[in-house]
Amino acid sequence: MRRVLIVGAGQSGLQLGLSLLAEGYQVTIMSARTPDEIRRGWVMSTQAMFAEALRTERRYGLDLWQDQAPDIHGLHVSLSAPPGERALRIPCPLDEPAQSTDQRLKMAAWLELFEERGGTVHYQGVTTADLDGLTRLGRYDLTIVAAGKGDLVGVFDRDPQRSVHTAPQRGLAVAYVHGMAPDPLLPVPHVSFNAVPGLGELFVIPALTLSGPCDILFWEAVPDGPLDLWRDRLDPADPLKPPLALARRYTPWIHERCREVELTDARATLSGRYTPTVRLPVAELPSGGAVLGMADVVVANDPVTGQGSNTAAKCAAAYLRSILEQGDRPFDREWMTRTFERFWFDTGRAVTAWTNAMLQPLPPHVQQVLGAAAGNPAIARRFANGFSDPTDFDDWFMSPDRAERYLAEVAG
């Protein structure tokens, strides 16, 4: 029985671990926190997951909240123009619903499920020296690092050819709330995507948290601009004040829905910033061992396109496929590199290119596409479903020539 060590207990690490258990592998996971500590901790993300990513979970019976999490039926894209007027509104339906489940709920339950299904969990933090020792002892056939935060990320070198940015592109602030009123213009649950050109974006995401259904208010602010009101964690004395003040000024149609909101719990906020980075997938340790990075350890994009958890789930599925195909052959450096490159060309490349494009001022052809989508449901639907399969954007959204050709075909 082949033995796999996974360092990190997030979306990608736990999904891969549970999937490998189902395939007969002996799997050990290193988690810095116990399930109870995760449940009592701060929120970790916004994690709106679309159909393709959800299918990778359901294949192994990991969709524990499918009947509890609100079904997200589409996007509602709005463009804010000074002084806080809605200049454009585009309802964008999804072919299959998306869902968002608080990772405190999900990862705690998945850790418990992993142990119930026969996996081994060591609850401890892991340093670079620890990782070096584990690989040197030769207890595992394969070691994968899935901890996208902390010191271990530093053992993976930045890939300068695939990393566009050298500084954070957005300041981020998240708040989980109860009491938000439905959107009177689109009453079915949806992701509200509100762009404030040149300044940032506000998202509203229906979700499931520890205390039941909720909404997530998620601001992305261009650094040092008028929306950039936080550097670290939101003020614990009044964490909703800055996000709601911004909504009142720039997206009053969202603020109108927030009259009765309150935090879902005392640790329902998250804020900060990081630099989007693509890293080399194989890390060489001092003793000569090699480990494979996965998901946001090696492909960390800005959340403006909502792809973090989606990419993590797809990475877990891609790595699983490569592990199973390898059979009894060694998981050497060449295999590690080949495994990542297949994931990169199948998924990571398109997500990274699209996300980096959406962080910039929208070029004329994208403005033209969105303007056309406001009056054409077929274009709006295709845009929404690109969040599930971003590789489709290459065919019509990412270049002026292809966009012009597509719009001509639709008009015809």
pLDDT tens, residue by residue, 184-238: 999 999 999 999 999 999 999 999 999 999 999 999 999 999 999 887 777 778 8
Domain with CATH 3.30.9.40 in the chain: 72-99+168-272
User: How far, in Å, CA of 286 to CA of 7, rounded?
Assistant: 18
User: How far, in Å, CA of 302 to CA of 280, rounded?
Assistant: 18
Q: Under 8 Å CB-to-CB from 15, ≥6 apart: which residues?
A: 56, 57, 60, 62, 110, 312, 313, 316, 317
Six token digits for residue 406? 């597509």
Q: For domain 72-99+168-272, which CATH number applies: 1.10.150.80, 3.30.9.40, 3.30.70.980, 1.10.150.20?
A: 3.30.9.40
How many residues are recorded in the chain? Answer: 412
The pLDDT value recorded for residue 84 is 93
- Which architecture, in CATH terms, is 3-62+101-165+276-358? 3-Layer(bba) Sandwich (3.50)
Q: Under 8 Å CB-to-CB from 13, ≥6 apart: which residues?
A: 6, 7, 29, 144, 146, 147, 294, 295, 316
* Closest alpha carbon to 308 in 296, 293, 320, 294: 296
Torsion of CA 332, 338, 343, 349, to 10 degrees: 130
The pLDDT value recorded for residue 199 is 96
Domain with CATH 3.50.50.60 in the chain: 3-62+101-165+276-358
pLDDT tens by residue, the chain, 412 residues: 899 999 999 999 999 999 999 999 999 999 999 999 999 999 999 999 999 999 999 999 999 999 999 999 999 999 999 889 999 999 999 999 999 999 999 999 999 999 999 999 999 999 899 888 888 878 899 999 999 777 899 999 999 999 999 999 999 999 999 999 999 999 999 999 999 999 999 999 999 999 999 999 999 999 999 999 887 777 778 899 999 999 999 999 999 999 999 999 999 999 999 999 999 999 999 888 999 999 999 999 999 999 999 999 999 999 999 999 999 999 999 999 999 999 999 999 999 999 999 999 999 999 999 999 999 999 999 999 999 999 999 999 999 999 999 999 998 8
3-state secondary structure of 164: coil
The pLDDT value recorded for residue 6 is 98
